[in-house]
Amino acid sequence: MNRLLVVLMTALSLDVGSARAEEPGQETPPAPQAFLHLDEVLASVAAHYPLLRAVETERDIASGSLRSARGSFDTRVIADGDLRPAGTYESYSADARVEQQTRLWGAKLYGGYRIGSGDFASYDGGQQTDESGEVRGGIELPLLRGGAIDDSRARLARDLVEVERVEPEIDLQQIGFKRAATLAYWSWLSEGLTVGVERQLLEVAEKRQSQLEGRVRRGAIPSIDLTDNERLIVDRQIRLVGAERDARQASIDLSLFLRSPNGVPLIAEPERMPRAFPPEELPDEETYARDIEWATREHPLLQRFSLEREQLEVDVELARNELLPSLGLRVEGSQDLGSSDPGISSEGSISRAPRNDTEVKALLRFELPVQQRAARGRLVAAQARLSRLSARERFARERIEAEILLARAGIEAAFSQTGSARRNRELAVKLQRAEERKLALGTSNLINVNIREIQAANAARDLIETQAAFFRALADYRAAVGGRL
């Protein structure tokens, strides 16, 4: 009976696993495994949690997309040829060139070499070159549409932002996973400590059974008291089995987050159960104010919205640029090399005069769809998406603040409840002690003692639950402030 009193006063400091006493002649058992603490679980999540590893592959996806976008600015080598060995005009020509698209105002640089020899029709006379061919180079420059931005540079800008946007997305997922792991850990601990309370209740009833048997044999008490205590044993066995089942389920849930170095789920054995919850520490007002200020500025969700805004602003800029007329300028210089072969000149006459002069030419091209419906439609859609994002971002900021306030209220309420629960347990144990003294004096009965035992055990369970509620609320708070510790 005295053992139950001690247990109920220190229920939170009892190990769930039943310790076996060392018998004479036995070897000293190996040292038990270290207690499992929350930091170990969170470290396991960061290192081995499969869903977090899956989310982190977004970095590779974004990097691959960025590399693909840069492919629009790859150097291009182009070559073609035309061979006519028989016919009215026997000739051959070949053309090879290198093109480089740049990010500077959409300019494209190019240079090449071509050669053409034989007989050409008058309308193809421009294909003929001097004996050693012709070298040329030039630049194509969009003056209006496609100058400040175009599809290729817009895609590149979006993908550059996407590489940054992946990080807050990973942070958000990590916060969610760590919150889930934290809740699973506190559930495992509370269920395990509850098993300790149920086991001690059963052990006290079993010990009392042998005492009652002796008193019945002496005729000190009626046999019905022995039957009543036996019923208590059966009832407490049932409750213990249920508590052990719940604890086992909690350890299985925790194994999704607690993993071996190979990533295999680990079942936390009862021997690793801490003897008590850590002390509850209530954050002060300065901490709350600092956390809210940080969360409303640096929360990963808000960072993600900010980067999404950058991407949409690129779409708006591109859509506005597409409303401009297309005005392109091409400037090219060319020089024929070597002596000239006889052939048809550009004027339609036979000539052997080499083309010694360097030729420079500039070309302009203008284009404008009259209605501009495609460009206007894209602009309207891009602006609407930007407006929608602004509304979602505003609500997200409000929701963050609300979740922080709710989590704070949960912490403070749970903290207050733990104080009340401790006092309730102290009073319940005090009443139980008094009832046991009365039973020893013969002024009480087994029913009253059982009632006081149950009240004390319920008080111990309530304290366990209020402590678990406090640490769950703390996990919610840390998630609300963006994982800030």
What pLDDT does 218 receive? 80
Compute and round to an integer the Cα radius of gyration of the chain: 41
Residue 352 confidence (pLDDT)? 52
Report the range of poorest mean pLDDT among 21-35, 44-58, 372-386, 442-456: 21-35
pLDDT tens-place string over residues 327-338: 999 999 988 887
Indicate the SS3 state at residue 191. helix
- DSSP track, 239-257: HHHHHHHHHHHHHHHHHTT
Q: State the chain's maximal CA–CA distance in angstroms.
A: 143
- Between 336 and 253, the higher pLDDT residue: 253
Of 426, 480, 439, the residue nearest 11 (C-alpha): 426
- Residue 139 pLDDT more than 90? yes
Of 149-163, 210-224, 344-358, give the range with the top mean pLDDT.
149-163
Specify the pLDDT at position 327: 92
Return the minimum-mean-pLDDT range out of 139-143, 165-169, 220-224: 220-224
Is 342 a residue whose pLDDT tops 80?
no
Which of the two residues, 455 and 347, has the higher pLDDT score?
455
- With beta carbons less than 8 A apart as the criterion, state whether 93 and 82 touch: yes
Cβ within 8 Å of residue 475, ≥6 positions away:
179, 182, 183, 186
> CA 265, CA 45: separation in Å to the nearest integer?
11
Relative orientation angle of helices 223-255 and 151-217, to the nearest 10 degrees: 160
pLDDT tens digits along 220-244: 778 888 888 889 899 999 999 999 9
Give pLDDT, residue 354: 54
Question: 219 versus 412: which is more confidently predicted?
Answer: 412
Name the range with the highest mean pLDDT among 74-88, 168-182, 210-224, 282-296: 168-182
Question: Which two tokens mark 428?
Answer: 């319940």
The predicted structure's pLDDT at residue 13: 35
Indicate the pLDDT class of residue 355, thresholds 50, 70 and 90.
low
Query: What average pLDDT does the chain have?
Result: 85
CA angle 139, 143, 144 (to 5 degrees): 145
Query: pLDDT-derived band of residue 28, with 50, 70 and 90 as boundaries?
Result: very low
Residue spans of beta strands (DSSP E) within 149-273: none
For 270, residues 6+ apart whose C-beta sits below 8 A from its C-beta are 15, 16, 17, 192, 195, 247
In the chain, which residues fall in CATH 1.20.1600.10? 2-12+32-66+154-310+384-480
CATH class for the region spanning 2-12+32-66+154-310+384-480: mainly alpha
- pLDDT band of residue 446 (cuts 50, 70, 90) is confident
3-state helix, strand, coil in the chain (%, to 5): 60, 15, 25
Q: What is the spatial distance between Cα 317 and Cα 172, in angstroms, rounded to a whole number?
A: 29
Query: What are phi and psi for residue 2, nearest 5 degrees?
Result: -65, -30
Is there a contact between 147 and 105 (Cβ–Cβ < 8 Å)?
A: yes
